[in-house]
Amino acid sequence: MTATSPLENRLYARRFEDGLLDLFVAIGLIVIGASWMLDAPVYGAIAPAVLVPVWKQTRERMIEPRLQAVKFNPEREARTRGSMLAWLIFGAAVLLTEIAIFLYASRAEGSIIDRLSDVIVALPAALIAIGLLGGLIIGARRFIGYALGALIIAAGGVLLNANQPGLLILGIGLMVCLSSAWLLTRFFRTNPSPERADAV
């Protein structure tokens, strides 16, 4: 169907509420956190490049067949692609900043580094919070909650004297993963597969 403008706006606002995007964000954060714990954060940088095409293919196979076929305005589709690309670039910039901080902190010496050591461990998690706000680019307002959760985890790491940034990043990934599990469960319950719908 070709949606009218008000209907199109409502449907578009729900386009990324299925939780699949959240799941792949969580997987990416878990991979990045694990790479930090292994002292190899550079390897975590490849996660987004691998996960984005997998997310698109998974969405086409598992999510879109359960949705009512809607033909969105071509200009809106173009803006969506641009927004996703902007978020990917934004996230990559945040990740590269984290890696630069890690490399600098691991090699630098001196009183300033010593005084900031308790804060530096939480800085990657705080930067991830900023990256999660990029979800607003595609209208996913729940990413504000993820960002706040990431900041809470970062602050908790400072208060508890955590010494492993990767552990905090893993915590953020698990938080998003739990949310994505709830969203996906709700989506699959309310949107049965076409085969099941025909059978009913």
Distance CA 195, CA 170 (A): 37
- pLDDT category at 196 given cuts 50, 70, 90 is low
Look at residue 21 in the predicted model and tell me its pLDDT: 92
Does residue 73 surpass a pLDDT of 70?
Answer: no
The three-class DSSP label of residue 70 is: coil
The domain total for the chain is 1
| Tokens linked to 42 | 């550079």
- pLDDT category at 188 given cuts 50, 70, 90 is very high
- pLDDT category at 192 given cuts 50, 70, 90 is confident
Question: What does the buried/exposed string (b/e) look like for 127-139 if buried means 16 or more CB atoms within 10 Å of the residue's CB?
Answer: bbbbbbbbbebbe
pTM: 0.79
Distance CA 23, CA 6 (A): 29
Look at residue 92 in the predicted model and tell me its pLDDT: 72
Does residue 199 surpass a pLDDT of 60?
Answer: no
Q: Considering the domain boundaries, does residue 14 fall inside one?
A: yes
Q: Considering the domain boundaries, does residue 10 fall inside one?
A: yes
Q: Considering the domain boundaries, does residue 200 fall inside one?
A: no
Its domain, for residue 114, covers 5-192
Look at residue 187 in the predicted model and tell me its pLDDT: 92
Q: Considering the domain boundaries, does residue 39 fall inside one?
A: yes
**Mean pLDDT on 137-157:** 91
pLDDT in tens, 101-111: 666 666 655 55
Q: Higher-confidence residue: 76 or 93? A: 93
Look at residue 49 in the predicted model and tell me its pLDDT: 82
Does residue 185 surpass a pLDDT of 90?
Answer: yes
Mean pLDDT over each residue of the chain, to the nearest integer: 80
Look at residue 1 in the predicted model and tell me its pLDDT: 45
CB-hemisphere CA count at 13 Å for 105? 22
Q: Considering the domain boundaries, does residue 24 fall inside one?
A: yes
pLDDT in tens, 81-118: 777 777 777 777 777 776 676 666 666 555 544 555 66
Q: Considering the domain boundaries, does residue 115 fall inside one?
A: yes
| Tokens linked to 51 | 């996960």
Q: Considering the domain boundaries, does residue 197 fall inside one?
A: no
Does residue 138 surpass a pLDDT of 80?
Answer: no
Q: Considering the domain boundaries, does residue 36 fall inside one?
A: yes
Name the phi and psi angles at 92, rounded to 5: -65, -40
